[in-house]
Structure 1
Amino acid sequence: MVAVSDSVQRARMLLEMRRPADAERELRGVLAQEPQHVTAHSFLALALVQQGDVAEGVAEAHEAVRLAPDQWLTHYMAGQVYQHAGRPDEAMAAINVSLALEPEYAPAWELLARAHLGKGEWPQTAEAARRGLALDPQDSDLVSLLALALTKMGDEEQATAAAAHAVRLDPESPTAHLAYGRAALAFGDPRRAADAFREVLRLAPGFDEARDLLVAALKDRNPLYRRLARLRGVFRGGRRLVFLLPAAPPLVVFFILVAVLHWAAWVAEAWTTLRLARAKATRLLFSDVEARVAVLCCCLVAAGAALLALGGTLGLSAVGTAGVGVMALVTPVQEAVHTGSARARTVLYAWTALLGLAVAVSMVLTAPTTALLCVYAGLATIWVAAGVRRVLGHER
């Protein structure tokens, strides 16, 4: 019995050390001796789901609950398994059962807060975090979750205070610095946000979310990029007004403004990305693909401007208009790259290639009308992309 207990404790430590495969070996040894060891089944479920074996992990969690339905720990561990598996509704159901059996366990409230956070339920996240903090006021992760929820709810004063408190409680917590950075970024301090995200990456180098947020913070420090991105956000809903065009043709001007603002913001993003990707201090934040796309977009702008100048100098309207069409290709390129769904991305890449071919043909055939249509189509890709994402995938 002592050996079994020691093995379970070793497995628990191995899980805390993020060594689920080693934990699995320990736990299977325990279950070979005691097939109905409840705690071993619960920990094995977590070890399996951490290795990507969701089906067997969930089955082990069910087995632990079946063997001990009146133990709060089995339901709590099942909640962890569901949370790791990306099934927040089932996680919340399991955690609520656990809390009904043992409402004084702060980590269960933390897990419930994380599940609500994953679903974007900010008030519920804040409430669960506060319930946990009533039991353990010094839990930095609970304070961080509260700060994240308050940030999403737009409560600048309380969110900033909570994030700072989380960092004070545990200066070595990546979650605390992440919450601090998110609050700073949301409330207009990208420089402080960048410092916080750098600290996250120092403490947890593989934290991809922090890497993406650091890039966003660094870009947001560029005043031009910041203004254009915000204007683009304000006008993003303008695509719904397309149904009013037959009744109000002047709205065409509004749509042109929206499209040009989006294009300008994508150009600013390409320039900012290229600048950061070439700087020694930030070059490792960007993948080769991101850097290449930034170079391509900057080259499209330069090449288009050169063609526009050439067309104007020589009096060749088709060449000049094609130059504008080349510059307009920045929008479809960026929209394709920033699409999460692989299928939608493939369609948008094909659309971009088709537009590029049409621009080239218009120049060869000296057809300014065709080139002008390519300009409109390129700039209008913001709505084409939105439709493709809606049908084939989700927006990032």
Structure 2
Amino acid sequence: MVNTTDALSRARLLLQLGRPADAERELRGILAEEPQHSGAHGLMGVALVQQGRTDEALEESREAVRLAPDHWVPHYLSGQVHQRAGLTEEALRATAACLALAPEHVPAWDLLARVHLTRKDWPQVAAAARRGLELEPQDADLAGLLSMALTMLGQDEQARAVAAQAVGNDPESTLAHWARGLAALSGGDPGTAAGAFREVLRLDPGVEGARDYLVHALKQRNPVLRLLSQWRQRFVGGWRLLFLLPVLPPVIAVFAIIALLHWVAWLVESWTTLRLTRNRTTRLLFEGPAARVSLLCCALPVAGAVLLGLGIGLGLDGLGSAGTATMALVTPVQEAAHTGSPIGRRILYGWAVLLAAAALAAAVTGAFLPALLATYAALATVWFAAGVRKIFRPREAV
């Protein structure tokens, strides 16, 4: 004879500990004796969706709601299942049904905020988090969600204050430290952001994206790189400027300045990354491609400068132009490395190899014009890469 209350408690605890298969066994024991137990069906849905068995989880969730449509618990668990399954509209309806029956249930407001977060509906995230905090002012996760929403809404100062409150309420909350890191980055404080993301990884090394944010924060501690990155994001130019070239040829100068600005920014980023790969405390964050790309991009200007110097000294225009093309390769290599889509990354690396081959051919043959065109094409990769990234977007994790 199964003690239903104890078995449900064990199942909830096992789910909290990340052991859904063990929770499933407990719940099947309950359902074997009480097939109409709505709570067991609801928790079974959560256990199954955590194991990736989405169809079974949705069926269990629907059965729980059918058995107890006037009780808030099946709706709340259904919201969790649908959110985990990536069905945000269904999760939104289930959570709203839960709150209509139990408006004082704080975890439901947390779930509602997370559903809106998935939809990137930042005002609604903030509204749901604030409503939950009215009921439970010390809830660190709700404060973290509110801080994230405020950051995305451009309210940096308030976001940082709320994030600090969240960390103070619960120093062991991964979400609170994550929100603090995002708020610090947005507010121009990469040092604090790096500390926050380090704490995220300490608390949960498996948090997706935390390592990338930590690397970004560490790079942004370089004030020159931070300033150049801001300029690079602000001064990208646009394809519509091309239509002005026949009417206003001086617009070419605008393109040239923007391209050179990006080249300098990528070069400084390469140097910053290389320094971090040599630092004992940060080298493990940069194992693999990042270290190799930064080393290559620091070597290209040196090799290019040598070729340029030889070309000038020997009076070989083609060799000198090959040197400038070699230096300009920093832009296509970095644009490729910082492209999220695998297809887009392969296209841009292929483009970089093609330009490198043109520079090499110019150095061997002494052809001036191909090397010059390769230089212009390499610097103009800024716009080519933007188009590639627009067409081939990385898939977002659900």
- 1:182-226 Cα shifts (integer Å, max 9, x gaps): 222211221122222222222222224332222111111101111
User: How big is the shift at 1:83?
Assistant: 2.2
1:248 Cα shift?
2.3
Q: In the alignment, does 2:18 pair up with 1:44?
A: no
Aligned equivalent of 1:104 = 104
Equivalent residue number for residue 380 of structure 1: 380
Deviations along 1:249-268, one digit per CA (max 9) or x if unpaired, are: 22111111111111221111
Aligned equivalent of 1:212: 212
Query: Matched residues in 2 for 1:153 and 1:182: separation?
Result: 12
| Cα 1:317/1:66, change in 2 over 3 Å | farther
Contact 1:117 1:125 in 2 (8 A): yes
Alpha-carbon distance in 2 for matches of 1:246, 1:381:
21
Gaps of 5+ in 2: none
The answer as to 2:248 corresponding to 1:248 is yes
Q: CA deviation at 1:2?
A: 4.4
Within the alignment, does 1:341 sit opposite 2:341 as a pair? yes
Name the CA distance, whole Å, in 2 between partners of 1:130 and 1:174: 19
More moved, 139-148 vs 283-292: 283-292
Moved over 6 A (4+): none
Corresponding residue SS for 1:206: coil
Matched, 1:306 2:325: no
Give the secondary structure class of the aligned counterpart of 2:246.
coil
- CA change 1:323–1:141 in 2 (3 A) is same
C-alpha distance in 1 between matches for 2:120 and 2:308: 47
Alpha carbons 1:151, 1:183 under 8 Å: kept: yes
1:235 and 1:258 in contact (8 A); partners too: yes
Offset at residue 125 of structure 1 (A): 1.0
Q: Compute the displacement of 1:317 (Å).
A: 1.4
2:268 maps to what in 1? 268
**Is residue 184 of structure 2 the alignment partner of residue 184 of structure 1?**
yes
Q: What amino acid sits opposite 1:390 in the alignment?
A: K
Residues 66 and 347 of structure 1: is their aligned pair in 2 closer, same or farther, counting only changes over 3 Å? farther
What is the identity, as a one-letter code, of the residue corresponding to 2:243?
F
Equivalent residues in 2 for 1:48-197 (5 A)? 48-197=48-197
- For 2:71, give the aligned amino acid: Q
Amino acid at match of 1:151: T
Letter in 1 for 2:218: L
Any conservation in 1 of the 2:140–2:176 contact (CA below 8 Å)? yes
Distance change in 2, residues 1:271/1:356 (3 Å): same
Q: 1:293 to 1:22 in 2, by over 3 A?
A: farther
Counterpart-to-counterpart distance in 2, 1:64 and 1:353: 58
Deviations 1:306-363 (A, max 9, x none): 2122212222111111111112222221222222222222222222222222222222
Residue range with higher mean Cα deviation, 173-182 or 86-95: 86-95
Report if the CA contact (8 A) 2:260-2:379 is conserved. yes
Cα gap change, 1:243 to 1:61, in 2 (>3 Å): farther
Residues 286, 71 of structure 1: alpha-carbon distance in 2 compared, 3 angstrom cutoff: farther
Tell me which residue corresponds to 2:331: 331
Name the aligned partner's letter for residue 359 of structure 1.
A
Q: Counterparts of 1:140 and 1:146 in 2: how far apart (Å)? A: 10
**Deviation of 1:369 (Å):** 0.7
Moved more, 223-232 or 180-189: 180-189
Inter-partner Cα distance in structure 2 for 1:147 and 1:23: 33
Residue pair 1:336, 1:345 contacting (<8 A) in 2 also: yes
The one-letter amino acid of 2:369's match is T
Say whether the 8 Å CA contact 1:238–1:255 is kept in structure 2: no
Conserved? CA contact 1:95–1:112, under 8 Å: yes
SS in structure 2 of the partner of residue 226 of structure 1: helix
Provide the C-alpha distance between the structure 1 equivalents of 2:378 and 2:353, rounded to a whole number of angstroms: 11
SS at match of 1:104: coil
- Supply the AA of the counterpart residue of 1:206: G
Superimposed CA distance per residue, residues 258-310 of structure 1 (whole angstroms, 9 cap, x where no aligned partner): 11111221111111111112211111222312111111211222222221222
Aligned to 2:29: 29
CA distance in 1, matches of 2:175, 2:290: 26
Deviates more, 1:131-140 or 1:284-293: 284-293
- Give the AA of the match of 1:117: L
3-state SS, counterpart of residue 207 of structure 1: coil
- Is the contact between residue 129 and residue 146 of structure 1 (CA under 8 Å) also seen in structure 2? yes
- Change over 3 Å in CA distance of 1:375–1:167 after alignment to 2: same
Amino acid at match of 1:3: N
Normalised to the residue count of structure 2, the TM-score between the two structures is 0.93
Partner of 2:286: 286
TM-score by length of structure 1 reads 0.93
Percent identity, aligned pairs only, is 57
- Secondary structure at the aligned position of 1:236 is classed as coil
Q: Which amino acid aligns with 2:253?
A: V
1:18-55 CA-to-partner distances (Å, cap 9, x unmatched) read: 12222223333333444443222222222222233333
Note closer, same or farther for the CA distance 1:36–1:273 as it changes in structure 2 (3 Å cut): farther
Distance 1:125 1:322, change over 3 A: same
Q: Give the aligned residue type for 1:175.
A: L
Partner Cα distance (1:112, 1:245) in 2 = 51
User: C-alpha distance in 1, partners of 2:328/2:367?
Assistant: 17
The number of aligned residues is 396
Q: Distance in 1 between matches of 2:121 and 2:275?
A: 37
Counterpart-to-counterpart distance in 1, 2:295 and 2:3: 61
Distance 1:66 1:257, change over 3 A: farther
Q: Which moved more, 1:156-165 or 1:233-242?
A: 233-242
Q: Which residue number corresponds to residue 355 of structure 2?
A: 355
